[in-house]
Structure 1
């Protein structure tokens, strides 16, 4: 079996994989991206948060995202806790990024994949990864088959798994730890003629807590709304209803979503997903890293999935060129990536668990966010709340691997003469565990 050689193989062409491949190629790294599907393809996860904007700018596609006419999302509106209905705005946390977007994932993901190609990554669609190539404990490549074709083997100095919950590489090298207290099921569909929020709330995701779960209500640029219900798996089973019937029953129990859909007409079939929240035991190992949902997924309450995936992709694209330029630094760079990733995931998971107590007021939610990201209380609690759920952290930039640009990989030219030492790549160790709840 013949084998081609690359600097990096990226498995998966979603936001994580396309962002990583594009940013690596931009640095002069020789990248192969293998994507299982043919784009465009459907995917849930329409609501973005502002932490992804910097990545879009680095990829050079923010203007293209704007040109697609996606709904601008300036914050969120909630019916949650003792305060009833309330809202937040992204500019309360980071004024330079006042809005994100509600996107059609088929269009958004296709744009990112196209950009990876433009930046120089070789992209193969309908490529099903069969297994990793592992030699002396190190991942050195993968075996894959293009639909309708034979199996091929490709080699690389490093492999990134951005294949989502399928974990094409991750399932061979790391076990999964499910968060049993966040074992939820989601059921969703799409409506036309639903009522939209107005004024300062226009474009916001709307979240309403109801007995036993919560609804999301997301406006899209074609006039439809994505509407989903999330509930614990045990609650769904105990109801004795199938998921579409449970969805309808909970709509009837709602106050606001029921009103917003009074004139709405369902225009798609129901879809569902189960057991969303998990973390892999390892995010890195010799020759490999997990990125995005391949590493872990947090409950969708704050729409962190796509943004976290893109931020992790940027981190990997910063880290891997250091490893390619100086393999002796690999373990230290991988450790920094793992610790930083776990810290952010840990904070989000901790905050989601705290927020699921719908008997508290906004002040409690704000103060808990502050305890996680700003324990010295340098900013107002409301600012820290918005900073956390935006995927941003002005006090410790997430995945900040180095103060200097990463050198290009072996196939590149820019930055190949970097003299940065290990201390430039691996700052002081970041704690793995989230901050406990304030007393």
Structure 2
């Protein structure tokens, strides 16, 4: 095999694409990122989880993230006006970093792109064009005019095209791949505000169950608060005709949101995202692989999207030889990557489902009742063990861990005997 850099074309300059590009370019691959250069002012995925800090350290960017990010110690879930529970990332001490960050996505995404370019990747700002399906060695290929932007490749196709096009899913749509869809078809509206009462402790993210749907409050640097609401798209129509009307009306209709936002000033446009859940039929094929949202996405609840974008980039980069082109073992490694990715997304989906159908809140309230009935050391030990596993799952450390998943299932079964989950379900 000739000792030349492996040629990699990456479609998209979001976190999945730029993380993959940085890791492969640093190891010696010839990486080109195709991107149209357009960036929305707001992007969903501002609250990060501890597993991502390990990726920042691998990329050497944590100090840069600190400059614009806000330290995030954990998450608070408010069930109703009287009940809330806190997950502290201190519970994952010794497993993962005990913190993460809340970040403005424009600065964060630009940092990842700059990191990839510093590592040696090259960005081509153009609307990419793919051709496929192909009957030859590769299922998809770059259109001939795309190769004219890469003179160093002498008109030769890339060894691998990596689809990091996000929810556009360019390769999956080109090839007509089927997808497994999740149960929810919600809409999410959010914006940045100043003049709000910020969560305590500093940087704590607040997830609140609402009468319709749920909301997030993500404190950002500079006194900003990212506030969003997620609900069934048909139910949202009752709150107004436009996204801004709907977001403001929900804030006013919910006492907990109205109380902290009486002096609010909206300082950005309202961004809207369709909140649906999807996993593609496969993550790779001859000549291509998908990474991040281009393969699948779950839900903004618990913030798995950006985490899985960067984790899938790390795993995918490890499957690809940086020099000499693709070897005989690459297709098998890519298939294993696809199975890992699909399995990981399903584990996240099941964890998110515990919140939507009320089981997680039923577990918490049943545990509180047990502690009140049987106070003492044993109850404290049990409560710490449960909190550690739940925090570990929400932080990305234990999401796929068999023991933690089995423990959560057993607790849900036990709590269902004590308390119905229905009153806690998110409609």
What TM-score does the superposition give when structure 1 sets the normalisation length? 0.78
1:178: Cα distance to partner?
Answer: 5.7
Contact 1:293 1:309 in 2 (8 A): yes
Q: 1:251: Cα distance to partner?
A: 1.5
Q: Does 1:264 align with 2:264?
A: yes
Evaluate the alpha carbon distance shift between residue 123 and residue 340 of structure 1 in structure 2; reply closer, same or farther with a 3 A threshold: same
Structure 2 Cα separation of the partners of residues 206 and 180 of structure 1? 24
Q: What is the match of residue 403 of structure 1? A: none
Please tell me whether the aligned partners of residues 139 and 159 of structure 1 are also in contact (alpha carbons under 8 angstroms): no
Say whether residues 1:246 and 2:251 are aligned partners. Answer: no
- Flag structure 2 segments of 5+ consecutive residues without an equivalent: 368-381, 414-427
Q: Separation in 2 of the partners of 1:386 and 1:56? A: 20
d(CA) in 2 for partners of 1:289 and 1:47? 27
TM superposition shift of 1:107: 0.9
TM-score (norm 2): 0.80
Q: Report the count of equivalent residues.
A: 384
Check conservation: 2:6, 2:322, Cα contact below 8 A.
no
Alignment partner, residue 73 of structure 1 = 72
- State the alpha-carbon separation in 2 of the partners of residues 322 and 29 from structure 1: 4
Is the 2:239–2:250 Cα contact (8 Å) retained in structure 1? no
Counterpart for residue 115 of structure 1: 115
Q: What's 1:402 paired with?
A: none
Partner of 2:206: 206
Whether the 8 Å contact between 2:275 and 2:300 is mirrored in structure 1 is: no
Specify whether residues 308 and 299 from structure 1 end up closer, same or farther in structure 2 by C-alpha distance, changes over 3 A only. Answer: same
Which whole-Å CA distance do the structure 2 matches of 1:145 and 1:396 have between them?
46
Gaps of 5+ in 1: 368-376, 398-432
For residue 150 of structure 1, report the CA deviation from its aligned partner: 8.9
Q: 2:83: which partner in 1?
A: 84
* TM-superposed deviation, 1:272: 0.8
What is the RMSD of the two structures over their aligned residues, measured on CA atoms?
Answer: 3.3
Partner residue of 2:35? Answer: 35
- Deviation digits for residues 198-218 of structure 1, max 9, x if unmatched? 3xx210111111111111111
* Counterpart position of 1:384: 389
- CA deviations 1:14-72 (Å, max 9, x no partner) are 11111000001111112111122157965332111111111111111112212x23111
Q: Match for residue 186 of structure 2?
A: 184
Please name the residue that 1:226 is paired with.
226
1:336 matches 2:368: no
1:393 alignment partner, one of 395, 398, 404? 398
**1:243 CA drift (Å):** 3.4
Separation in structure 2 between the aligned mates of residue 332 and residue 43 of structure 1, nearest angstrom: 34
Q: Whose helix proportion is higher, 1 or 2?
A: 2
